[in-house]
Structure formats: C-alpha cells, structure tokens
Amino acid sequence: MNYRQQFAEEIYTHLQGLSEVDEIHSLIEEPKYNTHGDLAFPCFTLAKKLKKAPQQIAKELSTKIDAPFLEKTVAEGPYLNGFFNKQVVSKQVIRRINTEKEDYGSSSAGAGKIVTLDFSSPNIAKPFSMGHLRSTVIGNALANISEKYGYKAIRINHLGDWGTQFGKLITAYKKWGLEEKVRENPIKELFYLYVMFHEQAEKHPHLEDEARFWFKQLESGNEEANQLWKWFREESLKEFAKIYELLDIAFDSYDGEAFYNDKMDKVVQELKNKDLLSLSDGAEVVELAAENMPPCLIKKKDGATLYATRDLAAAIYRSRAYHFEKSFYIVGQEQRLHFEQLFLVLQKMGYDWAASLKHVPFGFILKDGKKMSTRKGKVVLLEDVIKEAIDLAYQNIKTKNPELENKEEVAKMVGVGAIIFHDLKNERQNNIEFNLDEMLKFEGSTGLYVQYTHARSCSILRKASAENNLSVSGLTDSYSWTVIKILMDFPNVIEKSFQQAEPSVIAKYVLKLSQDFNKYYGQVKILADDAEQSSRLALVKSVAIVLKEGLKLLGIKAPEKL
C-alpha cells in the first residue's frame, strides 16, 4: 500500500527498462498544490535517456498509466501528476490501519540492526537537572522511534559516577556531613555538601588539595573512600529511580563512568602505541590542532583520567559489546566540542565505526527567558516539579470531569504527558520555556489536547458500540479525505523522525492529526444512521489507533476517558 512505490512501478512498466524502479521512486514528490494531485513525477532526468523533451514524456505517460488507486494522471508541463482515487485509497488506508492496529507504521528497515542510545546520564550526588530531563525525554522517544523503525534499541544510562568531584564530596562529608541526614534526603544533603565545599574552598584553598588526595585514594582503591562512594551512588540511584518511575522509563544498562575504570589503561596504551599521545604541560593529550580543535585531554598531570578518557573506553567497549550500527549520544549542545573531539580521536585510532557515532544535541530549558540553573544551595528537585504537574492535572480534571473514575491514574498520564510533549513539540535544538500552566492547556499545542482528542475518538466509538470488524466502503468528502491523507503519512513521518533523530516530527504530526480530526468532528455527523456510518466509525478508530501509537512513541500514555 505504498503508493509512491506503486506509482513508481506503474511508470517503470511504461519505460521499458530505461530506468530503475528505485531511481524513479526516489524522484517522486508531493505536488506543491493539492489541486495538482497527490503524487508528482518530474520527467527531467529521463529526457536525456529517452532523447525526448520532459513535457513530451509526461504527456505520453499520462495517456498510458491506468491503475485502480489512481483516478487519473495529468501532464503538467514536465511533471506527471497522479490523482488518487479517493474511494479506493481511503478504503485501503482505513482497512489497513484497522487490521494492523498498533503495528501500523512499523518498518523493518532496521531489522537485525542495533542502535545504542546514551541518554539521561545524570551525575551522582547532584540533583537531576532540567538538562538531564531533556536528555531523558528525547532519548527515550528516539529509542521508541528506532524500535518502531525496526532496530533493536539499547538504552544506556552513562551515569556520572566518577571524577574529581567525588574527592570534594568525600572531603566535605568527612568534615561536615551527617549520616542520618544523607539517608533522609540524599540528593539535597549531598548537594548541600558539594556547594559547601566550593564556598569553603574559596576561603581555604588547601581543601582543594585534600579533595585531590581523596580522589587519588578513591582511584587507587582505598577502602574508606570506596565505601563512601558506593553509598553515595546507591542513595542517588534510589532518588533517580523515582523520577524514572514517574516517567515510566527503563534502561538496559547503568554502566556509567566508573564502569570504565579498569578499561582505561588499555585505551591509554593503545593511544601510545598508535603514536597519538603527546605531552602538554605535563598532561597527556591527543593533539587536534590540524583539525582546528583544542587538544583532547586524556590524562592529567597527576595521572588522573578524565571524562573524555572514560568516553573513549565506553565507545570502544560498546562497539564490541553491542555491535551497533548506530550509536547516539543525547547530550546538551554545550558538550558539542567534547563529542567532536571524541569522535575524531576514535577515527584517528583507526576505528571505522567512529563514523556511526552521532551526537544528538538539544537546547536549554529556560524559566522566564533565563537559563534554569540550580543556584547555589537552592535546589529545585525534578521529582517535585513532576509531582506538581500531576497535581495541577488532577485539579484540572476534577473541575472538568468530576465523574471520571480513575482520576489519579489519569492525572499522572496527563501531568507527565504535558511535560514530555512540551519538550518534544519543538525541534530539539531550540531552547524551551518551562511553564506548567502553558503545558497543561486543553486547547493549543499541548499533550493534553492530543490526549483529549484521542479520548474523544474513544468516546465516539463507545457511544456507537462500534464493533471490531467494521465494514469500510471508502470516504470521499473533503473533511474525511484530509484526515485520511494525514493517516497515510504516518509511516513516512516515522522514517523522517528517525533519520533526523527528531521526535518533534512525530509530536507535530499528532497535533496536526488532532486538529484536522477535530475539524472533521465539528463538520461531519459521524453517528448519523446512513450507509457510510460504519466507514466513518472505522476512520475514527484509525485516528484513535494512530494518535495512541504516536503518543506512545513520544513516551506519553493515552487514557481512553478524560
């Protein structure tokens, strides 16, 4: 039912082997104006081969092509335009969606291939930031989209659980920390200690030496240091788990930076063997001057390894462990240079798979136009923010639909959905303004609007007691047709959003589908008792299926009642 493909095949049969089907397929476009039909084939490239003017080719093809899914073909200058037979096509599309259900739009393009997605990756002993929220939401959507496209997705949480900050934290804890306080409220307390360290270190610089000492102890396996580290890590993970549970997101691996501790010596040795290391101020670096980039720091003067060293080891490890075809890093745009350097070093090491690594950057979350940062000591816990959204959603529902049975469950779907949709509806590189009231509006570009439209379609089906096997005879009026054309596009939309690593393509799509379905709902008497009722109900069902699946790809649930 891929009409582009069918159109290409039709054209191909009349060209007597002068061109390949695939080539023709790749040339087919959508006409700019819908008065020019549904499919367009530009004949320019054939002109040379056929030794004919493109206008002539278009004209000849238009007289020859005759297929049931086309009402007619028309030569428009050098273009061959195809007009769908609405009766035939609408019937096929609606039937297909009703049969394939949530599998509609799935592809086997990625079958047998693996994509790894490095996302979320918060830092231990620090609050889960807004930036990490973006990474979490975008990364999870991309993983879902990759799966829909046929790939096996491996979700990796590259925890920030190693680095000099642990020297600082251990120092601070030993000086000012209290065990019960950390147990009671780990993230708040550990972050408080971290902030305290920085304040004190400004006045007492020797604290920095102490922190370096403790990090060295940690790296060389000192028992006390390692016990503390392990404890901080566990407590932090428990806190992060609450957020993942609210968002309903799970990972295949929590192998973070610390996991690579015993894998770095080999990498450093390999860099040496490949003659890539040089000394700069006592530190070991890979020079990237030829590429107009600052050197990539591999080992500090004191022998300590760095973020980049661990990422090198991680990439090499993952390529061996997962044999990925693609490997995405969903990390804020402020780390662009880091990833450019990382990929370049791997390339210099001779790894051809370095070309399949991709940094997927995104913009900031702003509050009143300003960057949202965890100001000194004042921590906004993400868990509280999400809970606030759920609470607001609950109040909303209580006033709008007091009868609703499972209000709490639905409020969770709506509150969480609002946050996710607000993030994903814009291209990821844009900054986004964080405003809960805006996110939870019933009208406008919100997750709630899409969820509401989905619930509306479910409610129509309930009212009609629509059966499972609705008979479909095709719909040709313009309101239906607009909706059907959008439904048809779903498989392409998934492909596009995968190719561009851009969940917003799907978010925009479900918004558009909702808007046009609501127009349809306003104009057409869906439940009128006539010969087309069953077809209309099948269309409503198709809309419900696609909205639900689209939202699911974004990581948002679609309640049947709202």
**Least distance to ligand ARG, CB of residue 317, Å:** 11
The answer to whether 502 touches 427, Cβ cutoff 8 Å, is: yes
Site for ligand ARG in 205-264 (CB under 6 A): none
CB of 116 to ligand ARG, least distance (A): 10
How many residues interact with ligand ARG (rule CB under 6 A)?
Answer: 9
Nearer to ligand ARG, 89 or 315 (CB): 315
Q: Which of 166, 329, 449, 520 binds ligand ARG (CB under 6 A)?
A: 329
Joined together, the tokens standing for residue 395 give: 């109040």
Locate 216 and state its tokens. Answer: 């060295």
Site string for ligand ARG, 97-136 (x = CB under 6 A): ---------------------x--x-x-------------
Phi and psi angles of residue 226, each rounded to the nearest 5 degrees, phi first: -70, -35
Nearest distance from C-beta of residue 76 to ligand ARG, angstroms: 51
Shortest Cβ 540–ligand ARG spacing (Å): 43
Minimum distance between the CB of residue 415 and ligand ARG, rounded to whole angstroms? Answer: 25
Hey, what are 318's tokens?
């993952």
Could you tell me the smallest distance in angstroms from the CB atom of residue 261 to ligand ARG? Answer: 15
Q: Closest by alpha carbon to 232, among 209, 214, 250? A: 214
Measured from the CB atom, the residue of 123 and 451 that comes closer to ligand ARG is 123
Pick from 160, 503, 555, 559 the residue near ligand ARG by CB under 6 A.
160
Q: What share of the chain is helix, strand, coil (3-state, %, to 5)?
A: 60, 10, 30
Closer Cβ to ligand ARG, 279 or 321, answer by number: 321
In the bound complex, what is the minimum distance in angstroms from residue 187's beta carbon to ligand ARG?
14
Q: Which residues contact 379 (CB under 8 A, 6 or more apart)?
A: 127, 187, 188, 191
Our CB check for ligand ARG shows the closer of 255 and 423 to be 255
Q: How far is the CB of 129 from ligand ARG (least distance, A)?
A: 7
Of the two residues 4 and 359, which places its CB atom closer to ligand ARG in the complex? 359
CB 551, CB 143: distance < 8 Å: no
Torsion, CA 208, CA 256, CA 359, CA 420, rounded to 10: -100
Q: Taking CB under 6 A as the criterion, which residues in 396-455 touch ligand ARG?
A: none
**Cα 228 to Cα 509: distance, rounded to the nearest angstrom:** 48
Q: Which is nearer to ligand ARG, 80 or 342 (CB)?
A: 342
Draw the binding track, 456-495, toward ligand ARG (x: CB under 6 A; -: no contact): ----------------------------------------
Report the C-alpha gap between 35 and 37 in whole angstroms.
5
CA distance 77 to 61: 12
Residue 507: name the closest of 417, 390, 434 by CA. Answer: 417
Alpha-carbon dihedral of residues 500, 501, 505, 507, nearest 10 degrees?
Answer: 180
> Binding of ligand ARG at residue 305 (CB under 6 A)?
no
Q: How many helices (H) and strands (E) does the chain have?
A: 21, 13
CA distances 503 to 147, 307, 494, Å, are 13, 28, 9
How far apart are CB 158 and ligand ARG at their closest, in Å?
4
Cα 408 versus chain centre, distance: 27
Q: Which three-class secondary structure state does DSSP give residue 283?
A: strand
**What does the alpha-carbon distance between residue 3 and residue 543 come to, in Å, rounded to a whole number?**
20
Q: Read off φ and ψ for residue 299, nearest 5 degrees.
A: -140, 135
Nearer to ligand ARG, 38 or 118 (CB): 118
Give every CB contact of residue 41 below 8 A, 6+ residues apart in sequence: 7, 8, 11, 24, 27, 28, 29, 58, 61, 79, 80, 81, 82
Nearer to ligand ARG, 133 or 544 (CB): 133
The least distance separating ligand ARG from the CB of residue 555, rounded to whole angstroms, comes to 19
- Which residue number is nearest to ligand ARG in terms of Cβ? 160
User: Quick one: tokens of 399?
Assistant: 């006033």
Between 25 and 158, CB nearer to ligand ARG: 158
**Residue closer to ligand ARG (CB basis): 151 or 339:** 339
Q: Which of 4, 25, 86, 158 touches ligand ARG by CB under 6 A?
A: 158
Could you write out the DSSP letters of every residue in 159-183? -B--STHHHHHHHHHHHH--HHHHH
By the rule CB under 6 A, 331 interacts with ligand ARG: yes
Nearer to ligand ARG (CB atom), residue 315 or residue 507: 315
Short-list 112, 225, 133, 240, CA closest to 170: 225
Binding test (CB under 6 A) with ligand ARG, winner from 38, 189, 311, 516: 311
CB 266 to ligand ARG: min, Å: 18
In whole angstroms, the minimum distance from the beta carbon of 340 to ligand ARG comes to: 13
Q: Of the two residues 87 and 335, which places its CB atom closer to ligand ARG in the complex?
A: 335
Q: List contacts with ligand ARG (CB under 6 A).
A: 118, 121, 123, 158, 160, 311, 314, 329, 331
